[in-house]
């Protein structure tokens, strides 16, 4: 049974926080009362604590299924540092290390075990799981189970099967930051969540002003903006390395304090440029979507998308790097028809190199096309941009936010027919 004081005590004792964020307590309470849960919260909202706290309160072990080795390592390191007995089981361990960790797990040394989905149905892991007292299974990045999702992983489909091998059914909790209607339905069905308590929270970032523009000359639009906002920190996202190079070079010629980041640069240069930006030595970062993961710079005043990204998930995540300090900030998307073509090209190309069988690859491509279309609608809609975005993520806003380019210029005509000559 859920006891608020206990949960708050754990929150303070292990994690050092005094209060829950939106949605956390709701989910924890339901897990503690034995119900499955499904939490849909944006990146940075605090999904990990939602399963880590009940894991510490429940009598048995919690298994956390996570798609990325690096993510598991970080989380386990942080938990160990906080004094929680946790471990991970994945392919980064040698066979010897793996068997030792499994033996320790059998001896009950760990409260939380991160496990890669591919391991679940192996003989050795099942041998452990059948014997152990497993109170909960938590599925992080649960959208990986869905072919509608951004990063479909077939091994996530093994999770539901894994439950068949367990004597008693543990609580199942699932978390994601992506949840279009299709993905949500898939997660519930494919993980076999039973009557889950669901919550979608916190996608609205009220201090961000969202704007879409269709400029005839993107570069001129960007330089004009930067001149008006001198001294402010911002990121300019471009779709390709080539555009990053072009924009960066031209801005330097304009005498602006600019640096750049993309996967084509060497490690050393990437690190240096990133630090120049983080420590305010360079105010403007021109980058591909390779930039930003795990970067927590609070005073980013604007994020300009020089090109339309491939879908709303990417846009939300990248634009969301603005205004982490809560101060008003701007997210400006500069649309051109060429952006659609470039993204279409990427989708078809990725399809050709797909690791999946042709049918699955085509299905995934279909869905990518569908997401691209919804991204494109965002650039053409007359309705409130915030409302459009929130609805995409399954939340409901008012249909007038008063702080997006559509709400602010409802009666202004935009010339969308002008030939796009950017890029």
| Per-residue DSSP letter, 404 | B
Cβ distance to ligand ADP smaller for residue 71 or 414: 71
Residue 43 binds to ligand ADP (criterion: CB under 6 A): yes
Residue 187 binds to ligand ADP (criterion: CB under 6 A): no
Residue 44 binds to ligand ADP (criterion: CB under 6 A): yes
**Contact characters 249-288, ligand ADP, x per CB under 6 A:** ----------------------------------------
| Contact assessment for residue 130 and residue 166, using Cβ atoms and an 8 Å cutoff | yes
User: What phi and psi, each to the nearest 5 degrees, are found at residue 146?
Assistant: -105, 135
User: What phi and psi, each to the nearest 5 degrees, are found at residue 299?
Assistant: -100, 35
CB of 43 to ligand ADP, least distance (A): 4
The entry of ligand ADP, Mg ion, none near residue 377 (CB within 5 to 8 angstroms by kind) is: none
Cβ distance to Mg ion smaller for residue 47 or 260: 47
3-state secondary structure of 113: strand
Residue 46 binds to ligand ADP (criterion: CB under 6 A): yes
Instruction: For helices 24-32 and 47-57, give the axis angle rounded to 10 degrees.
Output: 30
Residue 20 binds to ligand ADP (criterion: CB under 6 A): yes
Radius of gyration for the alpha carbons in the chain, expressed in angstroms and rounded: 23
Tell how strand 233-237 and strand 197-200 pair up: unpaired
| Contact assessment for residue 329 and residue 208, using Cβ atoms and an 8 Å cutoff | yes
Residue 21 binds to ligand ADP (criterion: CB under 6 A): yes
**Contact characters 83-112, ligand ADP, x per CB under 6 A:** ------------------------------
The entry of Mg ion, ligand ADP, none near residue 274 (CB within 5 to 8 angstroms by kind) is: none
3-state secondary structure of 10: helix
Cβ distance to ligand ADP smaller for residue 42 or 170: 42
Tell how strand 284-287 and strand 233-237 pair up: parallel
Residue position matching structure tokens 């409302």: 387
Residue 49 binds to ligand ADP (criterion: CB under 6 A): yes
Among residues 40, 64, 162, 56, the alpha carbon closest in space to that of 113 is found at 64
User: What phi and psi, each to the nearest 5 degrees, are found at residue 86?
Assistant: -140, 160
CB of 47 to Mg ion, least distance (A): 5
Residue 393 binds to ligand ADP (criterion: CB under 6 A): no
Tokens of 280: 């305010």
CB of 41 to ligand ADP, least distance (A): 5
Alpha carbon of 332 to those of 97, 195, 217, 311: distances in Å?
49, 40, 15, 15
For Mg ion, the nearest residue by Cβ is: 47
The entry of Mg ion, ligand ADP, none near residue 21 (CB within 5 to 8 angstroms by kind) is: ligand ADP
Residue 41 binds to ligand ADP (criterion: CB under 6 A): yes
Residue 17 binds to ligand ADP (criterion: CB under 6 A): yes
Cβ distance to ligand ADP smaller for residue 49 or 64: 49
Among residues 364, 45, 326, the alpha carbon closest in space to that of 186 is found at 364
Residue 7 binds to ligand ADP (criterion: CB under 6 A): no
Stretch that binds ligand ADP, among 44-52, 110-118, 334-342, 391-399 (CB under 6 A): 44-52
Residue 48 binds to ligand ADP (criterion: CB under 6 A): yes
Cβ distance to ligand ADP smaller for residue 47 or 305: 47
Cβ distance to ligand ADP smaller for residue 43 or 80: 43
Q: Could you say which of 40, 45, 72, 136 contacts ligand ADP (CB under 6 A)?
A: 45
Residue 23 binds to ligand ADP (criterion: CB under 6 A): no
List, as one string, the DSSP characters of 259-320: EEE-TTS-HHHHHHHHHHHHTTSSSEEEE-TTS-TT---TTEEEEEESS--SSHHHHHHHHT
Alpha carbon of 334 to those of 35, 214, 216, 413: distances in Å?
45, 6, 10, 16
Neighbours of 415 (CB within 10 A): 8
Residue 298 binds to ligand ADP (criterion: CB under 6 A): no
Torsion of CA 64, 67, 72, 73, to 10 degrees: 160
Among residues 318, 333, 315, 341, the alpha carbon closest in space to that of 414 is found at 333
For ligand ADP, the nearest residue by Cβ is: 46
CB of 136 to ligand ADP, least distance (A): 16
The entry of Mg ion, ligand ADP, none near residue 272 (CB within 5 to 8 angstroms by kind) is: none
**Which residues inside 11-70 make contact with Mg ion, applying CB under 5 A?**
47
- List contacts with ligand ADP (CB under 6 A): 17, 20-21, 24, 41, 43-49
- List contacts with Mg ion (CB under 5 A): 47
């Amino acid at each position: 049974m859920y006891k608020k004081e206990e949960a708050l005590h754990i929150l303070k004792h292990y994690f050092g926080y005094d209060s829950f964020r939106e949605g956390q307590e709701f989910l924890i309470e339901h897990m503690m009362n034995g119900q499955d849960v499904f939490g849909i919260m944006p990146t940075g909202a605090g999904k990990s604590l939602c399963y880590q706290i009940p894991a510490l309160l429940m009598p048995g072990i919690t298994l956390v299924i996570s798609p990325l080795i690096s993510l598991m390592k970080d989380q386990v390191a942080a938990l160990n540092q906080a004094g929680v007995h946790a471990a991970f089981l994945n392919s980064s361990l040698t066979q010897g290390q793996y068997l030792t960790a499994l033996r320790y797990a059998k001896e009950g040394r760990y409260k939380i075990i991160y496990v890669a989905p591919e391991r679940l149905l192996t003989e050795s892991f099942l041998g452990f799981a059948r014997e152990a007292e497993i109170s909960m299974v938590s599925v992080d990045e649960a959208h990986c189970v869905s072919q509608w999702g951004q990063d479909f992983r077939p091994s996530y489909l093994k999770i539901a099967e894994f439950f068949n091998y367990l004597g008693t059914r543990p609580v199942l909790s699932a978390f994601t930051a992506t949840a279009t209607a299709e993905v949500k339905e898939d997660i519930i069905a494919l993980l076999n969540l039973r009557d889950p308590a669901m919550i979608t929270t916190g996608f609205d970032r009220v201090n961000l002003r969202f704007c879409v523009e269709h400029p005839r000359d993107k570069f001129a639009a960007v330089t004009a903006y930067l001149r008006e906002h001198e001294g402010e920190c911002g990121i300019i996202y471009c779709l390709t390395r080539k555009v990053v190079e072009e924009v960066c070079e031209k801005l330097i010629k304009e005498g602006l304090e600019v640096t750049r980041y993309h996967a084509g640069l060497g490690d050393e240069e990437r690190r240096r440029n990133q630090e120049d930006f983080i420590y305010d030595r360079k105010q403007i970062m021109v980058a591909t979507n390779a930039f930003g993961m795990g970067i927590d710079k609070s005073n980013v005043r604007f994020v300009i998308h020089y090109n339309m990204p491939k879908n709303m998930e990417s846009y939300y995540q990248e634009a969301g790097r603005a205004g982490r300090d809560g101060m008003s900030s701007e997210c400006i998307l500069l649309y051109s028809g060429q952006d659609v073509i470039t993204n279409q090209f990427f989708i078809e190309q990725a399809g050709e190199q797909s690791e999946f069988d042709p049918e699955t690859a085509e299905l995934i491509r279909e869905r990518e096309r569908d997401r691209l279309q919804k991204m494109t609608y965002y650039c053409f809609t007359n309705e409130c941009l915030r409302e459009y975005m929130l609805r995409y993520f399954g939340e409901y806003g008012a249909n007038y936010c008063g702080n997006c380019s559509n709400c602010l210029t409802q009666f202004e005509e935009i010339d969308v027919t002008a030939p796009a000559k950017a890029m």
